Amino acid sequence: MENIIILGIESSCDDTSAAVLRDTSLLSSVIASQAVHEKYGGVIPELASRAHQQNIVPVVDTALKEAGITIDKVDAIAFTRGPGLLGSLMVGTSFAKGLSIANNIPLVEVNHLHGHILSHFVDLPDGELPHPSYPFLCLLVSGGHTQIVKVDSPQTMSIIGTTIDDAAGEALDKCAKVMGLPYPGGPIIDRLAKEGDSSAFNFAKPRVEGLNYSFSGLKTSFLYTLRDCVAEDADFIEKNKCDLCASLLDTVVDILVSKLIKAAKQYGIRDIALGGGVSANSALRARIQAEGDKRHWRVFLPELKFTTDNAAMIAVAGYYRYLSGELSSLDAAPIARYEEMI
């Protein structure tokens, strides 16, 4: 135990979040979600950055107060540098820099995706959760990314499989939208699918080489099914909503899990973790757990509160960077795309 205090700040998409850790122990976590996007059926970048500007001061202030920590006790400020929406990232990055200059506190930049993966190492106040051992594989599924990542250490990770088009969450959100469901559609599909028959419809599954994913064909086949059926019966979607959701979700889970099994075999790795917003999905969690039981994996499912964007995961990733002396300079600008990120 080093007793290092890290303040984490996350603002990459539509949640403004701050968290305080003592080493890897969570002292506080505050998330302000932005309801403003719901009526548009997706995140509107300009509205997101404005909402971040309104939220960031009270969110950080509340996180420090709830942790019982004053700013002079903070050893480092960890902020999300990317990937994400540029305007949103800009708010968190600028705020972190201002706080750093004003209080003479070192800055640590964090890759948002490293945060999702390392969320498994945040310890809760009521006890330690089991941690994966290195190397482990993480299936990272969010609204913007779908990847299998081989994690060798908190800083050394390689993407061994990735989507060549849509992300899994994006596909679910888009299919939900054409069914007239509100944004984000993933959680609603999760709920409706429980009432439906997953064998009611057959949607296209991709044939992609190696460990890569594709979801655009599935999305198209879903759209065509709806178009043809609605042409015959205008109430088709309403009558079949649960079966449509169950069949769609089952296909997405099948696609995700089949490549994960392949990766685990190929690399001989049995510590398997799940991360990102879609890892809240109950069907995906149940399937990975069942595959894990069958294949003698140790399966690590994130706490539900760490599945969607949060600053605790940014703080823990920042903690490891801080320990290895990787501090950021004040000219670290936000980076919208992962590929450009070191």
Site for Zn ion in 135-194 (CB under 5 A): 142
Q: Give the distance between the most distant pair of CA atoms in the chain.
A: 67
Q: Under rule CB under 6 A, which residues in 299-338 are in contact with ligand KG4?
A: 308-309
Interacting positions 299-328 with Zn ion (CB under 5 A): 309
Cα 181 to Cα 39, 177, 299: the distances in Å are 11, 5, 32
DSSP string, 221-239: HHHHHHHHHHHH-TTHHHH
The nearest distance, CB 276 to ligand KG4, in angstroms, is 4
Q: Which stretch binds ligand KG4 (CB under 6 A): 19-27, 74-82, 185-193, 256-264?
A: 185-193
- Between strands 271-275 and 15-22, the pairing is unpaired
Alpha helices, DSSP H, located in the chain: 45-67, 86-103, 112-118, 168-178, 185-193, 216-232, 236-267, 282-295, 311-323
Task: Indicate the SS3 state at residue 3.
Answer: coil
Shortest Å distance, C-beta 277 to Zn ion: 6
Question: Should residue 184 be labelled a site residue for ligand KG4 when binding is judged by CB under 6 A?
Answer: yes
104: left (phi over 0), alpha (psi -120 to 50) or beta: left
d(CA 259, CA 252) in angstroms, rounded, equals 11
Listed residue (166, 262, 268, 293) closest to 217, CA to CA: 166
Partner that binds at residue 80, options Zn ion, ligand KG4, none, CB closer than 5 to 8 Å by kind: none
C-beta neighbour count of 23 within 10 angstroms:
14
In the bound complex, which residue of the shown chain has the CB atom lying closest to ligand KG4?
Answer: 277
Q: Map residues 86-105 to x or -, x wherever contact with ligand KG4 holds by CB under 6 A.
A: --------------------
CB of 31 to Zn ion, least distance (A): 12
Stretch that binds ligand KG4, among 52-60, 153-161, 273-281, 319-327 (CB under 6 A): 273-281
Minimum CB–partner distance for residue 321 and Zn ion (Å): 18
Taking the complex as a whole, the smallest distance from the CB of residue 244 to ligand KG4 amounts, in Å, to: 15
Contact 132, 273 (CB under 8 A): yes
One of 169, 196, 292, 302 touching ligand KG4 (CB under 6 A)? 169
The reply on whether position 251 binds ligand KG4 by CB under 6 A is no
Q: Alpha-carbon distance 176 to 180, whole Å?
A: 6
- How near is the Cβ of 169 to Zn ion at its closest, in Å? 9
136 CB-contact burial (10 Å; exposed 0-12 / middle 13-18 / buried 19+)? buried
Q: Does the protein bind ligand KG4 through residue 13 (CB under 6 A)? A: yes
Binds 161: which of ligand KG4, Zn ion, none (CB < 5-8 Å by kind): none
- What is d(CA 299, CA 132) in angstroms, rounded to the nearest whole number? 8
For Zn ion, the closer of residues 226 and 335 by Cβ is 335
Whether the Cβ atoms of residue 143 and residue 167 lie closer than 8 Å to each other = yes
Beta carbon of residue 309, minimum distance to Zn ion (angstroms, whole number): 4
Q: Which of Zn ion, ligand KG4, none interacts with 172 (beta carbon under 5 to 8 A by kind)?
A: ligand KG4
User: Residue 275 touches which of ligand KG4, Zn ion, none (CB < 5 to 8 A by kind)?
Assistant: none
* Under rule CB under 6 A, residue 143 binds ligand KG4: yes
Point out which residues bind ligand KG4 (CB under 6 A): 13, 142-144, 169, 172-173, 184-187, 190, 276-278, 280-281, 308-309
